[in-house]
Structure 1
Amino acid sequence: MRWVTFDCFGTLVDWRHGLRTSAELIAPGQGERLLEAYNRHEHAVQAESPRLRYRHVLAETLRRACAEEKIELSDDDATVAAATLPYWPVFPEVGAELSALRAAGWNLALLTNCDRDLIAGTLRRLPVPFDAVVTAEDAGDYKPSQAHFATFRRAHEPSDWVHVAQSYFHDMVPAHRLGIRRVWINRLGERAPDDSIIQRALPDLHGLLTAVQSG
């Protein structure tokens, strides 16, 4: 079985746009500030409570971001990211590139730091069906823990496996440690802390089939 696994948010779905516009609903004009503050806190929340459901991670991280930026946040408003997440936009090239992989005989899976109920809403918006999904709820931990990868490997025993993701920290590092072939979707034009672990890098999903099949 040949598999391409994907991170979802940031790789297939425009996570930054979704979170920024969600923050704008509760603090108009402050979306970018809150997005950057959110990014500074989310991993700590996940590391402190690996079994905390992702909707609660979103809420707690937003609370900490607002506290840091001195923005008042009501308890009801803390749920805004979970409420809007199923509507966050899919990147425009996703449909064609995933369809090309499927036509070439690859199975597709998601390894996502999300819950089953939240990812169900996103799956309805993704233009190509997936053959398997592993959530943080299934794995019992959040990436960059290796639990998602171990859970997927036990369930599907892939003979050929490529992992595709935008996050160097959450995905490229654990995939490298496990010896999984990988493609970095560097949408933000970042510099890798260690270039040696990057086997293939693309600015978006265009040309992904060639990258996956290049061995």
Structure 2
Amino acid sequence: MRWVTFDCFGTLVDWRHGLRTSAELIAPGRGERLLEAYNRHEHAVQAESPALRYRHVLAETLRRACAEERIELGGDDATVLAATIPYWPVFPEVGAELLAVRAAGWNLALLTNCDRDLIAETLRRLPVPFDAVVTAEDVRDYKPSLAHFTTFRRAHEPAAWVHVAQSYFHDLVPAHRLGLRRIWINRLGERAPDGGVVQRELPDLRGLLTAVESA
């Protein structure tokens, strides 16, 4: 069995757009600043409570981001990210590229720092079905822990395995530790802190099949 595994948010779904526009609902004009503040706090929340459901990670991280930005939350404002995540947009090239990989005989899986119910809603928006999904709720931990990867490996014993992701920290580093073939979808034009972790790099998913098969 040949498998390509993906991170979902940031790789297939426009996580930054979704979070920024959702934050605008509670703090108009402050979405970009809240997005950057959110990024500074999320990993700490996950590391403090690895078994915490992702919807609660979203809420707690948003609370900390708002506190940093001196934005007062009211009522159930902190739940806005979990409420809107099923509607965050899929990147436009994703459908055609996933179809090409599937047509070439590869199985597709998601390894996601998300809850089962939230990713189920997101899967309805993805234009290609996935053959397997491993969530943070399943493994009670968050990447960059190895739990998603080792759980997937035990369940499917892939003969060939390529991991594709946007997050260097959450995905490429653990995939490198396990010796997996890996492709960095560098949508933000970032500079890799350690070039040895990156094997193949693309600015988006266009040309994915060629990159997968050469990996």
Q: Deviations over 1:158-182 (max 9, x none)?
A: 0000000000000000000000100
* Aligned-partner residue type, residue 54 of structure 1: Y
Aligned: 1:118 with 2:105: no
Q: Equivalent residues in 2 for 1:152-171 (5 A)?
A: 152-171=152-171
Residue 196 of structure 1 and its aligned partner are, at CA, apart by 1.0
- Secondary structure of 2:204's counterpart equals coil
Q: Equivalent residues in 2 for 1:65-214 (5 A)?
A: 65-214=65-214
Alignment partner, residue 24 of structure 2: 24
Residue 193 of structure 1 and its aligned partner are, at CA, apart by 0.4
Residue 154 of structure 1 and its aligned partner are, at CA, apart by 0.5
Q: Deviations over 1:94-121 (max 9, x none)?
A: 0000000000000000000000000010
- Secondary structure of 1:73's counterpart equals coil
Q: Deviations over 1:115-169 (max 9, x none)?
A: 0000010000000000000000111100000000001000000000000000000
* Identical amino acids, percent of aligned pairs: 87
Residue 75 of structure 1 and its aligned partner are, at CA, apart by 4.0
Alpha-carbon distance in 2 for matches of 1:72, 1:164: 38
Alpha-carbon distance in 1 for matches of 2:81, 2:89: 13
Alpha-carbon distance in 2 for matches of 1:46, 1:197: 23
Residue 9 of structure 1 and its aligned partner are, at CA, apart by 0.1
Alpha-carbon distance in 2 for matches of 1:182, 1:93: 19
Residue 36 of structure 1 and its aligned partner are, at CA, apart by 0.2
Question: Using a 3 Å threshold, how does the CA distance of structure 1 residues 178 and 75 change in structure 2: closer, same or farther?
Answer: farther
Alpha-carbon distance in 1 for matches of 2:29, 2:169: 29
Q: Deviations over 1:30-78 (max 9, x none)?
A: 0000000000000000000000000000000000000000000124000
* Aligned-partner residue type, residue 117 of structure 1: D
Unmatched segments (≥5 aa) in structure 2: none
* Aligned-partner residue type, residue 156 of structure 1: H
- Secondary structure of 1:142's counterpart equals coil
* Aligned-partner residue type, residue 55 of structure 1: R
Alpha-carbon distance in 1 for matches of 2:213, 2:3: 11
Structure 1 stretches of at least 4 aligned residues deviating more than 2 Å after TM superposition:
none
What count of residue pairs does the alignment treat as equivalent? 215
Alignment partner, residue 10 of structure 1: 10
Alpha-carbon distance in 1 for matches of 2:169, 2:74: 31
